[in-house]
Structure 1
Amino acid sequence: MQHKLMATMAAGLEALTARELQALGFETTTDNGKVFFSGDDQAIATANVWLRTADRIKIIVGQFKATTFDDLFEGVKALPWDQYLPLDAAFPVAGRSVRSTLHAEPDVQAITKKAIVDKLATVYHRRGRLPETGHTYPLEVSILKDIATLTIDTTGPSLFKRGYRIAKGEAPMKENFAAALVMLTNWRPELPFMDPTCGSGTIPIEAALIGLNIAPGLQRRFAFEDFAFFDQATLTAAKDAAMDAADFDRPLDITGCDINQEMIEVSRLNAKQAGLLHNITFKQLAVKDNHPTQPRGVLVANPPYGKRMGELEAARKLYAEMGQIYSQMPGWSKYILTADLGFEKAFGSKATKRRKLYNGSLRTDLFQYWATQRA
């Protein structure tokens, strides 16, 4: 069966996700926070297994204009729900409405649920309530500017949940956002890679997954595995192909440093869980003492932002230390993420380029300092 599919992601990462899908062989179109593509069950499995920067893969069951609850009910009921939902399907309906006539989200959800029940009851010749004792099919009705979109989430827990992070620090970065930071650099696996403020190790671990071409979804489960219409052999084939594509023996020079020894131990635990402990070097080291000996490389840092009262001064002192050390590394490209717009002044130089990103709901900027000297 062919599906209209939608990958969702954090604002600002659409181009990265589109590039990933195109590399997998799909044609794409892009909207805010969404990349659209089409494919069969194999496409669902492949996208879920391989996408590093997306949050979810959803099947678009249908789209239509709805300015009244009658429009919504009839539009939902007309969709081919019986192609996706068996008689005993449990189908919780999430709902949201933005800049639309039908703005009462609980009512939108209730009407959508009732319309689907009516459709399935008619198809399966049932009266009254459906059992909903089977596997879960997470549904969403989203109304944007009076256009209703009905989707089935094939992913389950967000794609950022790779399964390797068994320990974390105070402000953990989502795995897919860390992967995006690596992919926004000019790093190649033959170059050294460093994270001088690695925290729980997410950025170095994602760099290693990229460097070894290991699919991020290789070790996790997905919601679609329980869907009646989905053939389990399709996922097995996708994961087998991903294993074949991985280059486990490629040598990598990836280092994660942190001033806190407890965080270094956390990083090692997570890297071990990911099967990458021997591919990454973790060191307890302060930024001011971190002087890479390699003439070329790529550095990605997510230092403290100083958002809490009294912490900004300490954060800017750290930025100044970074500026002093990194000015002596002309062969390295440096990418530093922070929510402090005063970063460049504290760092001591203007970035080559800035890119606005959202780390969760927090507006941040990726300050990029490209290498000025080739070794």
Structure 2
Amino acid sequence: MKPSIKPKNPNFSSGPCSKRPGYDVNALDISTLGRSHRSTLGKMALAKVCSQTAELLGLPEGYRIGIVPGSDTGAMEIAMWGLLGQRAVDVFSWESFGQGWITDITTQLKLDNVRTFVADYGELPDLNQANFDNDVIFTWNGTTSGAKVPNGNWIDDNRAGLTICDATSAVFAMEMPWEKLDVVTFSWQKVLGSEGAHGMLILSPRAVERLESYSPPWPLPKLFRLTSKGKLIEGIFRGETINTPSMLCVADYLDALAWIESIGGTQKAIEKSEANLAAIEAFVEKTPWLHFLTKDKAIRSNTSVCFTVDLEPEKVKQMVKLIADEGAGFDIGAYKDAPAGLRIWAGATVEQTDIEAMLPWLEWAYHQVQ
């Protein structure tokens, strides 16, 4: 039968993701709007973005965090173009974005000494193949595949190369072993449900040392430059951005950080996301036509949860449309390059009660199109 209850918030997109519970754009502190980002007020807001993020994440002493243009993609490109080339590179990929980093490294940077380790959607390559004399690049959570790295135990504490991690759908949702990660990137519009266009770049002291001791052989555009005269541009990591940021987006991100603090910090956000996944797992267990794309629970994402459905691809699309037309769930179709199916965002900005209200609509829509 057609369900009678709908989610209060039917937004389940995997990016940009749902706004936090209780979000009200009118509650944003917009005192910086119309002001220069280089004004005292603007610098204070941008510096707070860096310091509060570092505090909430518990970054180790000596780690820097800065705001960069171009969302997570921009942050990863800045890292790769500025750091790679000194050592051989190992790249691990199991979904579309990881494949994009392989393409950049092999066809744009044209590095020769590159090893690639690739797995299908829903699986992981053998991470133990990593050679930590090399620079090692990987995504923590495959946003388009629903498969994540289970932990950092496979990363060598005594590595010679750098670990460069695209963690855009993991930061604030999964435990991150910071001491094992030299470069981490993420974006505001994922786990925190804030606005797009800005990325965050986290550097360990080892990454800073590389930047200050090595100059890549290719030219770097202004947006990619993290050093000047052989020294790190420290201002970038105090909120003195490379180019002009949106101060409205900054206000929105600060609102999201304040919400994380209000619920008890990053650990509570992680627990909320894990509880959302548990609710989904309980539904899948009793639903014979719905299957996790990532079958191994140990590597199953608790943010971008991906499924296959026992239907032809066109009928899956019909399901997605039916549910959206009813206002019971928006943007739940699989990523365009992934296997046909569904994808539900289960990060902390999504309430468990909304997920539990949406899941019966999957059952209804499946039988409608079947």
Under a length normalisation based on structure 1, what TM-score does the superposition of the two structures give?
0.28
Q: Which has the larger radius of gyration?
A: 1
Q: Greater relative contact order (Cα 8 A, min sep 6): structure 1 or 2?
A: 2
